[in-house]
Structure 1
């Protein structure tokens, strides 16, 4: 039975092709592995594996620009190390919930792009803020760093809310809440949090949010930043008339117009107002 559960988890994380499961799995595996490594060190009286002295030093993204040449890789690694259990839990819950909605409308390739570049954007905004605003000068000089997947998750949340702003989810104590209001609430909380002890984290969240919002706005205008992730089809010689090629091109244009019309309908009246045929059209489009 345990072997079956393990195989099922392995499939979902690494073989299902679902990017939200992949990132949830990677973040969780790293957190559990570090916790298990830390346990005997803690019990032996050595104080354990402190984030500040080891993980933050080698995996956290630094605020000090002079450290970047030797810690350049941390713009990626910092996205997969969580400060504490609840930090991991809430990030992964939001990634799961938003990931389900996101992948109903867009492709895994686009999810990968937003998650990773959202983390990059968060790190860069954090870096700029800590080197521009005088209030952070002492923290920057003392070796401040940032860890966590919150910027990446924030990018997915805001991207999803920008794509389908009137899509509603049910929250405990609040009932049905539209994604646009949820995203606005999170952004406002991060703006307020800029004056707190976790200002660096809030700057990173805002960087991720900006990336997610910008990506979807450009996507709706026909620009897909993730297109360089797309595999180029192999060239092959086929016998086909010019008329046939034009017909296929016209069908592709019609399909795209139909999808755009459905997305506009969702933004105005919500996903639940779609007909069965419209939902099937979106589902098929997400698979291709």
Structure 2
């Protein structure tokens, strides 16, 4: 195991999220997908029992969740640009998507915190929608059947999470206790191959949509490495929206002078802060991801060594 691998392990131990943790964004994604699936499955079973046909389910129910291929239909049901990425109606595909989301999502969340995974998931879905509709309009064979095409399922968004996780930690390994483990990039190649094979016989717009999701994951991490956080505005909007309905939120009425110069709480004005802080370690680990371990200074290597021994 190399130095960067050890420090990725250290970061994972520091930031690992547990199942019942309230700020576990991955579990929220998982829960939303499962809720949508169970609702659709219940309706599907009820319709099949009464009508003995699944046609009514797709024309009367799925129609309102599925992203349409043409702009006119999208203008009539704009919410589908979000609803489609949480709506799976096939049991095996839903199970597969959740397993892959859990695998790649846990890596992404544990390494970047809980504020990145949902934006990556959404960006993947949005990019997939754009690529899908562009492909339908630009490819004549797809445009000829535009009224019959629609995008549905978490695949596109999961693809974005998979690519983002792989780019964040290309040296990460699953199941390290078994002969050194499986590199994440190998698992990603397997996932992409299975995903594309499952839609290979359909119109070209579908694999192009999935590549759109992959591009979103790639671009998100690429920008992140250049100190451009695409998740920041989403998180700010979410916090603002939630606080609108929070009656317990206290308005800050203290003056700037009081907050800065007088209100120091329980902090000691002359307390010494250790150089080995969580923030400092995170910054060094990000530098390893961007430039490699060899680009660290002697001081940075010493900080990581001390941190990993704590």
Which among 161, 168, 175 is matched to residue 163 of structure 1?
Answer: 168
More helix by share: 1
Q: Does 1:124 align with 2:130?
A: yes
Question: How far has the Cα of 1:235 moved from its partner?
Answer: 8.2
Which position in structure 2 is the counterpart of 1:143? 148
> Do the aligned partners of residues 16 and 276 (structure 1) sit closer, same or farther apart at CA in structure 2, a change above 3 Å counting?
farther
> Do the aligned partners of residues 131 and 174 (structure 1) sit closer, same or farther apart at CA in structure 2, a change above 3 Å counting?
farther
Which position in structure 1 is the counterpart of 2:222? 217
Question: How far has the Cα of 1:198 moved from its partner?
Answer: 5.6
Unaligned runs of 5+ in 1: 1-10, 242-246, 281-288
Which position in structure 2 is the counterpart of 1:285? none
Q: What is the aligned-residue RMSD (CA, Å)?
A: 3.7
Which position in structure 2 is the counterpart of 1:286? none
Which among 7, 28, 35 is matched to residue 22 of structure 1?
Answer: 28
> Do the aligned partners of residues 203 and 43 (structure 1) sit closer, same or farther apart at CA in structure 2, a change above 3 Å counting?
same
> Do the aligned partners of residues 185 and 275 (structure 1) sit closer, same or farther apart at CA in structure 2, a change above 3 Å counting?
farther
Question: How far has the Cα of 1:50 moved from its partner?
Answer: 4.4
> Do the aligned partners of residues 176 and 12 (structure 1) sit closer, same or farther apart at CA in structure 2, a change above 3 Å counting?
closer
> Do the aligned partners of residues 77 and 211 (structure 1) sit closer, same or farther apart at CA in structure 2, a change above 3 Å counting?
same
Question: Does structure 1 conserve the Cα–Cα contact (< 8 Å) formed by 2:40 and 2:89?
Answer: no
> Do the aligned partners of residues 39 and 119 (structure 1) sit closer, same or farther apart at CA in structure 2, a change above 3 Å counting?
same
1:31-79 Cα distance to aligned partner (Å, 9 max, x none): 1222222323322334246453123421111111221211211100101
Which position in structure 2 is the counterpart of 1:97? 103
Q: Does 1:63 align with 2:69?
A: yes
Looking at structure 1, the residues matched to 51 and 198 of structure 2 have their Cα atoms a distance apart, in angstroms, of 36
Looking at structure 1, the residues matched to 139 and 155 of structure 2 have their Cα atoms a distance apart, in angstroms, of 22
Q: Secondary structure at the match of 2:34?
A: helix
Looking at structure 1, the residues matched to 65 and 192 of structure 2 have their Cα atoms a distance apart, in angstroms, of 26
Which position in structure 1 is the counterpart of 2:307? 277
Looking at structure 1, the residues matched to 189 and 253 of structure 2 have their Cα atoms a distance apart, in angstroms, of 46
TM-score by length of 1: 0.75
Looking at structure 2, the residues matched to 136 and 162 of structure 1 have their Cα atoms a distance apart, in angstroms, of 32
Question: How far has the Cα of 1:195 moved from its partner?
Answer: 5.1
Unaligned runs of 5+ in 2: 1-17, 241-250, 263-269, 294-303
> Do the aligned partners of residues 154 and 192 (structure 1) sit closer, same or farther apart at CA in structure 2, a change above 3 Å counting?
same
TM-score by length of 2: 0.70
Which position in structure 2 is the counterpart of 1:154? 159
